[in-house]
């Protein structure tokens, strides 16, 4: 239900279906991203026989991220999002391999590449949505990368309690990033707030 005031302002006493679905979808995608990333890192470190299947599932998440943006920004933006997130994951895999091999020179080089990819993602997102702050989003993304590296190193050291505690921080960070993206989309497309629940 909604009301129309003389000023023409619409007021919705509850969240619209469109906003609810957007927020839930983006949150689920980011939850899956951080969970499958952890499973991939664990499988790669342990040479697990499920590695290929886990990697394939993680890559599917990149498509889901692109698909979440398609209704608002079109096919090209959706494809670019998928490609950038896939690059992020491929580089992450190389980072784990370097750390596992104890090749710190390669690790540091790959880490720089990983942060450059993060910069590309942040620049891309802020270019399609003026409500996504480059500075704030970059800080959040860098924190996410740093936490993931800590988690990875704890797993390599078999310090499982610390890796789990770090993952709790990663999950929190991922959800904050998801909510930030959803809020920015809602600001850019305010009509989302006025699509009523049935």
Query: Residue 16: pLDDT band by 50, 70, 90 thresholds?
Result: confident
Coil, helix or strand for 60? helix
Q: Of the candidates 113, 161, 166, 159, which has an alpha carbon nearest to the alpha carbon of residue 143?
A: 166
Question: How does DSSP assign 79-139, residue by residue?
Answer: HHHHHHHHHHHHHHHHHHHHHHHT-HHHHHHHHHHHHHHHHHHHHHHHHH-TTS-HHHHHH
Domain positions in the chain: 3-194
**Per-residue pLDDT, 14:** 73
Write out pLDDT tens, residues 54-69.
999 999 999 999 999 9
**Per-residue pLDDT, 197:** 41
> Is residue 118 exposed (0-12), middle (13-18) or buried (19+ Cβ within 10 Å)?
buried
Write out pLDDT tens, residues 69-117.
999 999 999 999 999 999 999 999 999 999 999 999 999 999 999 999 9
Distance of CA 187 to CAs 41, 144, 192, 193, Å? 35, 24, 9, 9
**Per-residue pLDDT, 195:** 63
């Amino acid at each position: 239900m909604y009301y129309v005031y003389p000023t023409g302002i619409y007021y919705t006493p509850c969240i619209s279906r469109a906003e609810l679905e957007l927020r839930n979808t983006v949150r689920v995608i980011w939850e899956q991203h951080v969970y499958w990333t952890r499973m991939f890192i664990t499988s790669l470190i342990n040479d697990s026989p499920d590695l290929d299947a886990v990697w394939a599932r993680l890559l599917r998440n990149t498509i889901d991220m692109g698909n979440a943006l398609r209704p608002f920004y079109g096919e090209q933006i959706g494809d670019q999002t998928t490609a950038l997130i896939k690059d992020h994951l491929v580089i992450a895999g190389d980072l784990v391999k370097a750390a596992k091999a104890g090749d710190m020179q390669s690790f540091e080089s790959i880490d720089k590449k990983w942060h450059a990819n993060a910069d590309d993602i942040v620049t891309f997102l802020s270019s399609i949505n003026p409500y996504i702050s480059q500075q704030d989003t970059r800080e959040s993304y860098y924190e996410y990368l740093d936490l993931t590296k800590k988690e990875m190193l704890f797993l390599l050291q078999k310090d499982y309690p610390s890796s789990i505690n770090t993952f709790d921080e990663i999950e929190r960070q991922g959800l904050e990033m998801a909510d930030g993206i959803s809020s920015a989309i809602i600001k850019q497309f305010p009509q989302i707030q006025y699509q009523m629940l049935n």
